[in-house]
Each structure stands twice: as C-alpha cells, then as structure tokens.
Structure 1
C-alpha cells in the first residue's frame, strides 16, 4: 500500500506540473502489484557451473529456458519520416529470433517517444506499465521510483548470476555496471550503457558560403560573430531571390544543448571537480559559473537579427529546422557532432547538395576559446543511457540474458551495420563501410543505438578499425567532413568523472519539472530585448533555484564534503 500511495502522489504531482507547463500526462491509477517471487529467487544462489542452480532457474546447460519466457523491452520512437516501425522491423526480428533461438525468450518491443522520453517513462512507471527492460537518460527519475519500491535492486541479481552474463560483464566492465552503486547502501538501481566515443556536439558553418565571401573558417568568437553578420549582409549574394529567408544562425527550443560550445567558452578554465559535481545535475551545464554570459551573447545576436527568430516555436522532433537547412537557408548551427551527415540520402548535407549544388556543405569549425585560450568541451564520462528493471518485472533472469545477448560482439556488429553486401561492406583493411539502406533495411537511429542499448557508438572490437569505420560510415558523405568533425568534437575535452556520493534526495521527482523551467528560462532570455535580458534571466534563475534547484546544489555540496572533505578534485 505504501508503494501504491506513493506512486499515486507522484502521478498527481506530475499531472499538476504538466498542467502548469502546458503539458499533459497520464493519470492512470497506480496498482499495488509487487515483483513476483522469481524476481528475488536468483539472489539466493549463484548458478556457477551447478546444474542444480540452473535447474532452479529453469535453464539448461546452454542458458536456454526449458519453457518460453516473455519480456518487454523499451525502444525509442524517433518518428523518422521514411523510417520503419521501431517495434517491428528487420532489426527487431533479428533480435527476437536470436533470443528465442539462444535463450527461448519471447521479446516484445514497446515504443517510447524519444524526444519526450523522460515524461513518457515517468508516466509508464506511475501507471505500473513500464517495460521489463526500461531505459532513460534521467537517473533522478529512476531514483524517485526506486525510493518508492518501484525499481529492482540489480546488485544481488548481477552478483549472483554473473556466470550467466559473460558478454555483458566483459563489455561494460565493473566501471559501467557499478557506476551508480550507492556507496553506503550498496543498492544498484541501474547500470550505465557504454559510450564508445565521447563525441558530443559541434559547431557547423556553410563551407561554400565561406568561399563565396572569401572568409576563413572562424577561429575566435569575434570572427564567428563577424561571419554571421557577413552572411546577413550578403544574403542576396548567397541566396538570390530567397534572400529574405536567410538565417545566419539557427538553434532550437533546447538552447542548452544546441549552444553548448558557445556557453562552455564562458566557463572559467579553473572550474573544479567539486563545482562541476555540485552543479552538474542539469546535463545542459547551465548552472556552471558564467554560463549566463554565453546566453547574453546569443541574446545580442538574436536582437541583431542573426538568429532564427522562430527557433522556440517548434517542439522536440519537429523537422522544420532540418528542412530549412536542407533548403539552404541556414549559415551556421550547433548540434550533435555529426548531425548534418546523418541519415544517408536523407541527410542535411545530401539535401542542400541536391537543392543548391554539389559544393554546398557544412563543415565543423572551432571558434570558441575560454579564458585560458583553450577550446574546452565538457564531455560525458564513458556512460550513456541508464538501464533498469521496474519492480513489475517478473522475468529478471530473462531480462539479464537479453542484456548479455545484446552485448555480444557479433550481435552488436550486425545491428550497427546490418547485412554484409547489403547495408555494409568490409574493406581490405578490416574496417567497415556503410552502404545506403533503403526500404525495410533503414535504421531509425545512428548505428541502431536504440537496439544496442548497452552500447552507444560504433565498436567492431578493434579500436583502429573502429575509427576507420566511423569515417566510412556515412553513405554519400566525403570522409573528410567526418574526420574533421570527429577530431574537433573532443579536442581539449574535459572528461566527466564519477563522483559517486550516493543518492541525492532533493532530486527526487524534480528532473522533468526543472528541465522545463530551464528551457523556458533560456528561451525567454534569448528573445528578450537587450535591456531586459538581465531581469528576465535573473528572474528565471531565481524561480529555478527556488523550485528545487538550490536544494539540490546544497545537498550535493554537503554530500561531496562528507565524502571528500576539503578536496576539490577527484583522482
């Protein structure tokens, strides 16, 4: 009853927060279902080589269930035009057939909207409808439901069944598996998938426009700003009859992600690990010191007519901005490190070349240095999505075997590249080249990361061949663009460290609400009149901090000092 009441309270507060922010959420009543006995049974004894232990789990010597088990697995739905159904396609069939063949596990995929995944998984958990294998980028969401008994503790399950999972343990290693383990309680609510490359974002500009205006690729903030002004002032030269459609710089409602290189340049070079940890619960870094000055620069550009005036009007997943880029109207933008080169024949690069000409292209540039003259990028640790089992999971062993199967090299490589001779070609040097996929063989996400959930990014088992394969992996795109983007995105990067000091209670239930406040604050600040910027930004920040942000900072600070004392750096 305690869990049921807690879920109902959270569901009600989530609905209220959604109503206040103009969003809607599910108000399905929570149930009092608890995990079946099978969820805890494996913790009592490790299988090892014991046939009796395997027999107790219902497995044969090959880790195959004697009776078919059924599990549901979350998969992101990106709503790709021309894509396939995320829950039913060539790649889901490969997984389903393989799991039945190897483990006698019947898999059903449950699509969750990628661009609102945090809200969606909240609603599914509140309604006791989350898939047996769930994932999210929001650890506070997991922690919230774990505190109410709504998430399985993976610690004993992983420890006592380790011998069943050689592929997962070898691939993720203890670092990723135990990344989120509570240092005092020992609980483990999620494991972190492996981020194979730390590539995050890049700044892109139209290479052909630079050539037309006899400009060099910008290497400083002032050069970048002057370039944007040159694009605007020469709209007729660059766009002819479409000059009025000129967009020197584009961004989206997600200002925090989409202007990351600019804002990072304003963060002091001497920021400590302590400062990062205590202010890093927002993954857009917008609580970092001096971040406001980066947004102030964007505000200035907006008021000078250099920024797409409608950027805040389109929600996540909307393709309007992409289409403007494909049409050739956008001079510069920041986005995922390879964004203009993704999706083969439907890529932004292919689109502008089709409409504008073969010389039209975006190229990655590096114009934003910090106070030490370093092009600092704040990079993630080697972790990605958080994988967890809701308490309603009645088949935890089958679910663990799924994670092991999906971590096996042969399975990962097939999912990343598809069929030899059809969607991939192995070159003489051992690297792999992607062949543009059509029809049912199209991948809805880069390298099928929505299915390789323990892995994000290419990995063919050999680091050198993997790097070459990355450059080869963009059908119809000259490898030189990929190589440059790959080099710049992590240059002068500061890799995230794991300051695991335990759960921060102040974060419970705050993830989605604070995210929405952050996005609203940044959107309003960018479009404010220049003389109103400080007032708008400061009022929004005051509201954010007063709505739970400051409490999180304070609790994180206390937790850091308890764990590390006066130390400000992690080893």
Structure 2
C-alpha cells in the first residue's frame, strides 16, 4: 500500500509539474533576442475557445501601416468596418491590440522615408520599394527577419502556406543570410491593359485596332469626329489620356519598341531592369518619340503635366466621357462599384458607354509582348523600433489565414457579394462603412494581392463577376489579354546593390520629369531634351547601379 501511495504521489507531482510548465511563460517560443514572450496556452483543438497557438498571456499592442487612397465616397482607411473586424479578431485569437496608421498611397515612398527617419514608423510596414528597405537596413533601422522567422516558423503556418518559402526568403542575402523584408504574394499576375471606347468605335464604324497604325488612325478619327462623339463638349475631347507617370500610362506602346531579344535575356533584363518602367531598355526612346508626335498632333491630353499621379482630375476626364483611349491597370475602368469609371460614364454619357481592352502594339517579333514581374508584390518589413516582432509576425499569419483573408476580400454575403447558383462570387456595389476602399481590400490583405477563394477554378470564374454593375465580358477579355504573350522576369538574387541605396525616389522623380518634358517638347527639340535628360539620369546614379548589377550578376551567375 505504501509503495502504491508513493507511486501515486510521484505521478501527481509529475503531472503538477508538467501543468505548471505548460502555463508558464518560461516555455515561450524563442524570439531571437526580442522582449516579446509568447505563451503556449493553446493547441489546435483548443484554438476556437482560447485563441490560436502562440496566443499571448498578456495583451500586446502593435501598429500597422495602411495605404490611404482618399477615395471619394470611401471610409477612413484606419477606422472602418474592416479595421474593426481585424482588431477584434487579433484580440480574440492572439490577445494583440492593433492600431492602423494611414500613409498616403501615391506618396508612400516619401512618407515612409520620413517616418523611418523620425523613428516613428508603424511596427508593420509595407512599401513597393525594396531599395527603401535596404537603405534603412544599412542604417540599422530595420529588423533582420531571418532569426525571427526561423524561431517562430511553427506559429506561422498560414503565412508560409500562402506566401511560400520562396517569397519568404526572396530577399535573403546570399552571403550574410539576412532577410529585411517578406515579399507578399501577387496571386494573379496581371498588370496593364490598353483600353479604347467601344461605343466610339461602334459610332464611327471602326474595328478594334490590332496594329499601332490602326491605333493611331483611330485616335485621329476620334479627334476629327469630336462633334459627333461629344456634341457641345467637342473641345474637351481627349483621344489618348496620359499622366505624368508616362512610363505606366503608355507602357504597352513604349515596350512594343523594346527588342524581344533583350526581354528574353536574363542577364540584360536584370542588369537594366531596376527601373520598373523599363526606361533603360533599348528602343525605349522610340516609344517616347511616338508619344511626342501624338502630343504635338493634339492626340494626347495637353494638360496632363499639370496633375500629379493619382490626382482625381485625371479620372474625372474618363468619368465625364471625354477620353477615347488609355493604358492603365488591367481592370482600371471597372474598379470602384458605383463610382467606377464605367459606372460614371453610363450615368453621364449613356448605357452603351464602355471601355474595352484591345491589343494594338506588336513588337519586333510580331507578338503583343507583356512584361510582367515575378509573383511578388509589396515588401513587408519591421522597423528597428518594433518592440513586438512576434506579435507582428502573428498579425501577418492571421491575415493570411484563408477564412480571414477570404472575408476581407469579398466581405459579407448579401451586402458586398452574393453567391450564384453554381457557387461563384458576384460583387454587389455597396456604400457606407462596408465599402472597400481598394480592390478586394488589398490594403488590409498585405500578404496577398489578387482574389483567392481557395479553389483556382472558382476564383478565376468569380474574378469576372467581381465588378459590380460591369458586364463580365469586359472583365474576362481584360483578364485574358493582360498576360497574353507575357514574359515574367526571373528571380535573380545577388544580394545588396549598394549603388541603389537611397536612390529610388530621386531616380523616379528624374525619370518622370524627363519623360514628361520629352513628350511635350517641340519636335525639333525632342532629341536634345531626351538625350540630355537621359545622360543626367545615368550620371545621377543609374550608371553606378548598372555597373554594380553587372558585376554582381557575373559573380553569382557567370559571364
């Protein structure tokens, strides 16, 4: 009996000891030097009631960057139905309090520079500019994510499942092993389309243009028939719309002048590919020269240099029905529900008003080449001022969970979407607090850009129904053309390019100014303006980047 009691007592002591260890913060997951401690208070079976694995015993607080697009009829980017939904979920599942910090979308690089310089950046940041991240990493202003990811990987199954190992380590330094940013997933690799007014084509009995000659003839027909197309507003006609971001809003035209041999050379494309508008590619100048011809012929909006990128006046020209053709994001005319370009055109012009995607710009190989990026999107990083890196990683995991990101992307059934009899998701136009300020709420799903319903076929078919009030045929055609004959640049990882440090915003500004001045130049001044500005672009830092990229490429990939 004594032996039995001693055994029972020993078992009881072991169980008590194990229970104490299970509830103690001493078993917290390693945070690689972070002061944050995660308690193992829940497992998969208890996640519903007690939160997700890694839930903190004591409440933590983090701040998260969100793009502010200043959308007409939209909501406050940092305080709306969706931000509150995220806050409630993070508090419930991880005991983490979240506060959103708005950053203007169209000046995000400049704003992020200011926040980082002032040691006032949010705990979770995102940007489209990796050189900005690298610059501040070199100054000690960014956390190295490599040890954090390694020691907390088991707590991040949804993040790894969505983004993938490659994107998680996309920017890993091949020598040092540092990871300054995670590359979010570009789920649908779509970029740009060329759009023309379908109703104007029909009214003037013109076929969809399939060559640059036909496209130019179409623009001239719009110009000479302005009275027929716009009546009393004939003087407001804009055959082709451009903005100060010339490299974006004329992409298909310009890149059709780039030789196909350059596009298909991994080495040349990488060395000269740091400018995302492809300015350094051979043949680029010829594309700008064509725009210069059109501008001086009155085919391009003469006032485009007056408005910065993202200015509402640009969209207003389309909404009013004054624009005949444009090049923009692959689905641009269809975004925004009741405030979309196409919805406004139908109100102001008539029910037949519509933009349709076309392919008029062949390259020297006779194909409508599209230049697409790899499946990476925004760069997510943590500033050195982040005192809760594990809580920040758990935030990324939470918004990557399929159920969570699916809700953020499509919202509530009967409010922002409806299900068709065959299970497809059709978007419903909505206003008020549940309005989405960005397509599929990409500003709140920072780890993914592009609709993902968990089933590829369902997703693809639902994309066409994701634009309230828009005939699916327009979206389907745009979806197909934007990636037809595409070349996706390969992942070339040579580590840090020191010459790029701090140069992103400055070179971008020089490029945009250069192209705007070249397009609007008098024909006899075009060559001198373009050549001098291009030389200045090179001597201002671009040539040093080219040279370092060439040397690094040969170091890791050979000559």
Counterpart of 2:172 (choices 170, 177, 181) is 181
Give yes or no for contact 1:504–1:552 (8 Å, CA) kept in 2. yes
| Closer, same or farther: CA 62–41 of 1 in aligned 2, 3 Å | closer
Tell me which residue corresponds to 2:31: 42
1:6 paired residue number: none
Aligned partner of 2:56 in structure 1 is: 65
Tell me the residue number matched to 1:245. Answer: 236
Residue number in structure 2 paired with 1:489: 482
TM-score of the superposed pair, with normalisation by structure 1: 0.89
Question: TM-score normalised to the size of structure 2?
Answer: 0.91
Aligned to 1:412: 405
State the Cα distance separating 1:327 from its structure 2 match. Answer: 1.1
> What is the correspondence of 1:12-161 to structure 2 with a 5 Å cutoff?
42-43=31-32, 62-161=53-152
8 Å Cα contact 2:319/2:344 also seen in 1: yes
- The structure 2 residue matched to 1:390, chosen from 358, 383, 394, is 383
Distance change in 2, residues 1:383/1:61 (3 Å): closer
- Output the aligned Cα RMSD: 1.9
1:212 and 2:213 aligned: no
Match for residue 454 of structure 1?
447
Give the number of equivalent residue pairs.
Answer: 522
- Matched residue, 2:463: 470
Unaligned runs of 5+ in 2: 1-28, 44-49
Deviation at 1:43, TM superposition (A): 2.1
Does 2:310 correspond to 1:283? no
Would you identify which runs of 4 or more consecutive aligned residues in structure 1 move more than 4 Å?
49-54
Residue-by-residue CA offset, 1:291-350 (whole Å, 9 max, x unaligned): 111111000000000000011111122111211111111100001010011101111101
Measure, in 1, the Cα distance between the counterparts of 2:51 and 2:436: 34
For 1:451 and 1:313, how far apart are their aligned partners in 2? 32
Q: Which runs of 5+ in 1 are unaligned?
A: 1-39, 567-571
Describe the superposition over 1:130-173 as per-residue Cα deviations: whole angstroms up to 9, x where unpaired.
10000000000000000111100001100111000000011111
Q: Distance in 1 between matches of 2:425 and 2:42?
A: 41
The Cα shift of 1:428 comes to 2.7
Q: Which residue of 2 aligns with 1:541?
A: 534
- Is 1:295 matched up with 2:288? yes
Provide the residue aligned with 2:20 in structure 1. none
- Measure, in 1, the Cα distance between the counterparts of 2:136 and 2:333: 37
Q: For 2:305, which of 280, 304, 312 is the aligned residue?
A: 312
Match of 1:169 in 2: 160
- Aligned counterparts of 2:438 and 2:459: Cα–Cα separation in 1: 18
Mean Cα displacement is larger for which, 235-244 or 482-491? Answer: 235-244
CA contact (8 A) 2:42 2:53 kept: no
| Maintained 8 Å contact 2:346/2:353 | yes
Tell me, in whole angstroms, the C-alpha distance in 2 between the residues paired with 1:205 and 1:107.
Answer: 44
Shift of 1:419: 0.6
The equivalent residue for 1:365 is 358
State whether residues 41 and 54 of structure 2, in contact with CA within 8 Å, keep that contact through their aligned partners in structure 1: no
- Identify the residue that residue 251 of structure 2 maps to in structure 1: 260
SS at match of 1:161: helix
| In structure 1, distance between residues paired with 2:430 and 2:31 | 42
- Structure 2 counterpart of 1:332: 325
Q: 1:356, 1:322 → 2: CA distance?
A: 15
Asked if 2 retains the 8 angstrom alpha-carbon contact of 1:246 and 1:330, the reply is yes
1:349 paired residue number: 342
- CA displacement, residues 410-454 of structure 1 (integer Å, 9 cap, x when unaligned): 001110011111111122322211111111111110000000000
Distance 1:52 1:186, change over 3 A: farther
1:103-146: per-residue Cα shift (whole Å, max 9, x none)? 00000000000000010001100000110000000000000000
Q: Max radius of gyration: which structure?
A: 2
1:398–1:328 Cα change, 3 Å = same
**More off after superposition, 283-292 vs 138-147:** 283-292
Q: Is the 8 A contact 2:52 2:94 kept in 1?
A: no
Q: Is the 8 A contact 1:44 1:160 kept in 2?
A: no
> What are the Cα deviations for residues 33-72 of structure 1, in whole angstroms up to 9, with x where unaligned?
xxxxxxx961279x9x995999xxxx99832111110000
8 Å CA contact 1:191–1:386 kept in 2: the answer is: yes
Task: Give me the whole-angstrom Cα distance separating, in 1, the residues matched to 2:97 and 2:424.
Answer: 34
In structure 2, the residue corresponding to 1:102 is in which secondary structure? helix
